Amino acid sequence: MKHQDYNFCVAPMMDWTDRHCRRFHRLLSGKARLYTEMITPGALLHGDAVRHLEQHPLDGPVALQLGGSEPEALAQAAQLGARFGYAEINLNCGCPSERVQRGAFGACLMREAERVADCFEAVSTAVDLPVTVKHRLGLGRNSSLELVCTFVERLVRAGCRVFIVHARNAWLEGLSPKDNRDVPPLRHADVHRLASNFPQSRFVINGGLTDHLSACVAVQRLDGVMIGRAAYRTPAMLAAVDRLWFGEECQTKAAARPSGSASESLNPLLHALEGYRNYMQKELQRGTSLGAMTRPLLGVFQGFRGARAWRQDLSCAQALRAGDLGVFDQAVERFLTVQRTEAT
Ligand SMILES: Cc1cc2nc3c(=O)[nH]c(=O)nc-3n(C[C@H](O)[C@H](O)[C@H](O)COP(=O)(O)O)c2cc1C
């Protein structure tokens, strides 16, 4: 039987997939696999590990993504992650930023399969968790699969079984990290070609998947999909994940079927928001900033009338600074009033 645990994943995203965002995503989907932002071993071993690693007891399964190239430091950081209850350690071999290149990790590691294999072995020995690798299809403008095949082949020999592939090359010169997510051409077919060379390994496809239908088309014969920006632009997508990707319905048919009425698609969102309100209330008592917690909610009503007002209401810096949940309650009320008016 096909393993289900990687069917649908939410990507590691710096400054987005923090513990608040993951709490909200988990309330929308009980089964999606969630990833932390990339964290360096240094930040965990010499910084405030609790702040970085603390997670809600009901958030699992969450993978901890580490960015580094020192086997021993990665192994120690992974052990900390295991102690904090993470379900997987993911090694970042796809980040193109200059800061990360200066630290000799991220996408530039695709040229250093031996080193990544050493890191993989050190981490796998240190923790009893799946260790996975997230990488690109190649580097620069060369669209040959030679580099990525050599990279994956070496990691397969080291024991790696799961590869998450951002279906683009990383251009290490002249492009910002943001442009590196858009400018290098998206090549889903090459992820399928890569995977066909390694039938014993599992491949998760990432890049440019914006809805369930595009994800269903992309996943054929692979082991799962990972969405990045769609998770914050249209988080409502996550509310259908358990049914479409982990339920008994055929994925393609289910995704192709028109969704139900507006109120049917709204109810799970309102339910998740209710749970998240309880979470925010508890966190406010611990001194957490309200603005940090409302950020993952901004896109939740994307596509509904009233979505813009919702975003504006939840972006009022002054009200958020005061830490008053009334801002959230009023935003919900205003949004629901728009829905009621529309229904009459
Ligand atoms: C704001 C932002 C931050 C990101 N941070 C990370 C990161 O920490 N680690 C990582 O492997 N990828 C990171 N990525 C890349 C995403 O994980 C993903 O590979 C990329 O956005 C392509 O997927 P998408 O087209 O579904 O967004 C980031 C992407 C965004 C938009």
> Does the pLDDT at position 253 exceed 90?
no
In tens, the pLDDT along 20-68 reads: 999 999 999 999 999 999 999 999 999 999 999 999 999 989 999 999 9
Tens digit of pLDDT for each residue in 302-330? 999 999 999 999 998 888 999 999 999 99
Does residue 331 or residue 262 have the better pLDDT? Answer: 331
> Tell me: the pLDDT tens digits for 264-277?
789 999 999 999 99
Structure tokens of 227? 């969405």
d(CA 262, ligand 1 centre) in Å: 30
From the alpha carbon of 37, which atom of ligand 1 is closest? 8
**pLDDT, position 343:** 80
Q: What is the pLDDT of residue 257?
A: 53
Concerning whether 119 is annotated as a catalytic residue, the answer is no
Q: Is 38 in the pocket of ligand 1 (CB under 6 A)?
A: yes
pLDDT at 263: 72
Q: Which of 9, 21, 95, 119 is catalytic?
A: 95
Evaluate if residue 255 carries a pLDDT over 90. no
Short-list 58, 33, 62, 87, CA closest to 245: 33
Name the percent of the chain lying above pLDDT 70.
Answer: 94
Triad 295, 332, 300: Cα angle to 5°:
45
pLDDT for the residue numbered 47: 97
Q: What is the chain's mean pLDDT, rounded?
A: 94
Atom 6 (ligand 1) nearest CA: 13
98 Cα: distance to centroid of ligand 1 (angstroms): 15
Give the whole-angstrom CA distance, residue 333 versus residue 338.
Answer: 9
Give the model's confidence band at 2: pLDDT under 50 very low, under 70 low, under 90 confident, else very high: very low
What stretches of 171-322 adopt beta strand conformation (E)?
Answer: 202-206, 224-227
**Protein residue with its CA nearest to atom 29 in ligand 1:** 13
Distance (Å, rounded) from C-alpha 166 to C-alpha 181? Answer: 9
Q: What's the CA-to-centroid distance between 97 and ligand 1, angstroms?
A: 12
Q: Which of 176-185, 216-225, 239-248 has the lowest mean pLDDT?
A: 239-248
Q: Measured in angstroms, how far is the CA atom of residue 208 from the centroid of ligand 1?
A: 11
